[in-house]
Amino acid sequence: MRYFIEIAYNGKNYHGWQIQPDAVTVQEVVEKCFSTLLRKQIQVTGAGRTDAGVHAKQMFAHIDVEKIPNLGNFIYRMNSFLPKDIAIKNVFPVKEQAHARFDAVLREYQYLIALHKNPFLQDFSCQLHNKPNVKKMNEAASMLLNFSDFQCFSRSNTDVKTYLCKVKNAFWEEKDDNLLVFTITADRFLRNMVRAIVGTLLDVGYNKITTEDFKAILNSKDRTKAGASAPAHGLYLTKVKYPKNIFI
C-alpha cells in the first residue's frame, strides 16, 4: 500500500531534506527509522527538498509498505525512534499512484525576521536591527505574481528543466511581537528561490535598489543581478496541498 506521511522538523542540525553523501539529512534519518521499525529497507519520497538549515512545519512524503494495522500506535512508535527535532504528525493511506512530489498543487513558505534580539528566535528567524520599508517590499513582492520565469532567483548550475513557477501570493506582514513575516505560495519553487527573493526584497526595503530595479531583475533572468540569499534558519516550509482525488 502507499501511505503519505506528514512530517515537521527543525532543520538546524540537518543538511537539508534530500539524502546526500557525507552529510546528515532529514530524509536519511526518516528512512532509517522506517526501515528499523518495519524491518525492511524503506524508501521515502518527499514532496520536495529544503536547503540546509531550513525548517518545515508541514512536509509530506510517501512510502510503499504492507498494510499498517494500527496507525496511531505506529505514529507513536515512529516518534519514539526519531530524534527530538523531527516529528511524524500523521500517516494515512492514499491511492496507489499518488505521488508526494508530483501531485502537490501548492506549496507555501514563510520567512521570519525578528526586529530585536530575541533569544527564543535566535535559531528560527533572521534578526535585524533596523526595520526595512515594508510598504516598498510589498510593492515589489506584488510584481512576482505577474512573472512566470524565476531564473534570476534560482541557484546556479541547478539541474531543473524549467524555471517556470506560478506564484499565487507574496506579501509581508508586521506582527505585534516585532516580527516581519513574508508568505509566498506557488505551484512549485526553484532551489534557493525563496531565500533569494527575500534577500532582494530586503534590498528594496533598505533602499539599496528601487521597485523598478526589482522589476528589471525579474526581467533579466540573471541570478547575479539579484540580491544575496537570506539566511536559511529564518525559512519555513509551512504548507503543501494536494487534490482530493488522491485520498482514499
If asked whether residues 39 and 122 sit together in one domain, one would say no
Residue ending a domain, among 80, 102, 124, is 102
Based on the fold, state whether residues 155 and 221 are members of the same structural domain: yes
Say if residue 217's pLDDT is above 90.
Answer: yes
Q: Name the pLDDT band for 216 (thresholds 50, 70, 90).
A: very high
Which cell numbers hold the place of 198?
527575500
Q: Quickly state the pLDDT bin for 106 (edges 50, 70, 90).
A: very high
Residue 158 has pLDDT above 80, yes or no: no
pLDDT higher than 90, residue 156 = no
Q: Report which residue type is found at 231.
A: P
Q: Which of 69, 102, 135 delimits the end of a domain?
A: 102
Distance between CA atoms of 93 and 155, rounded to whole angstroms?
Answer: 35
Query: In CATH, what number is assigned to the domain containing residue 141?
Result: 3.30.70.660
Residue 143 lies in a domain: yes
**29 pLDDT more than 90:** yes
Range of the domain at 91: 2-102
Is the pLDDT at 157 greater than 90? The verdict is no
172 with 209, same domain?
Answer: yes
- In the predicted model, what is the mean pLDDT of residues 158-179? 91
> Is 245 contained in some domain?
no
pLDDT for 159 equals 72
Q: Given this model, what pLDDT does residue 176 score?
A: 79
The residues with which 113 forms a beta bridge, in sequence order, are 126, 180
Cβ–Cβ under 8 Å, residues 88 and 31: no
Number of domains present in the structure of the chain: 2
- Residue 92 and residue 190: Cα distance in Å, rounded? 28
Query: What average pLDDT does this structure show over 224-230?
Result: 97
The confidence band for 18, taking pLDDT boundaries of 50, 70 and 90, is very high
Instruction: Check whether 168 has a pLDDT greater than 90.
Output: yes
Q: Are 87 and 76 in contact (CB under 8 A)?
A: no
Last residue of a domain, one of 82, 102, 122: 102
Residue 132 CA to residue 122 CA, distance in Å, equals 19
* pTM metric for this prediction: 0.95
pLDDT, residue 245, reads 96
Binned at pLDDT 50, 70 and 90, residue 152 comes out as very high
Q: What is the mean pLDDT of residues 118-129?
A: 93
What pLDDT was estimated at residue 231?
Answer: 97
Q: How confident is the model at residue 94 (pLDDT cuts 50, 70, 90)?
A: very high
Residue 177: predicted pLDDT: 75
**Residue 81 in this model has a pLDDT that exceeds 90:** yes
Q: Are residues 154 and 70 in the same domain?
A: no
- For residue 49, the model assigns a pLDDT of 92
Specify if 206 maps to a domain.
yes
User: What is the pLDDT averaged over residues 43-65?
Assistant: 97
Q: Is the pLDDT of residue 136 over 90?
A: yes
Instruction: Give Cβ neighbours of residue 212 (< 8 Å, ≥ 6 apart).
Output: none
Known catalytic residue: 103?
no
Q: Is the pLDDT of residue 40 over 80?
A: yes
Q: Helix, strand, or coil here: 67?
A: coil
Scored b (16 or more CB within 10 A) or e, 131-170 reads ebebebbbebbebbeebeebbbbbeeeeeeeebebebeeb
**Phi/psi-derived region of residue 14, left when phi > 0, alpha when psi is between -120 and 50, beta in every other case:** beta
Q: Is residue 194 part of a domain?
A: yes
Q: Count other C-beta atoms under 10 Å from residue 12's C-beta.
A: 14
Q: Are residues 163 and 222 in the same domain?
A: yes
Same domain for 98 and 125, yes or no, is: no
Exactly one of 51, 159, 176, 187 is catalytic; name it: 51
Do 189 and 48 contact (CB within 8 A), yes or no?
yes
Is 246 part of a structural domain of the chain?
A: no
Same domain, yes or no, for 115 and 171?
Answer: yes
Same domain, 164 and 209: yes
Give bridge partners of residue 47 from the DSSP assignment.
none
Mean pLDDT, all residues of the chain:
96
And the C-alpha cell for 19? 539524502
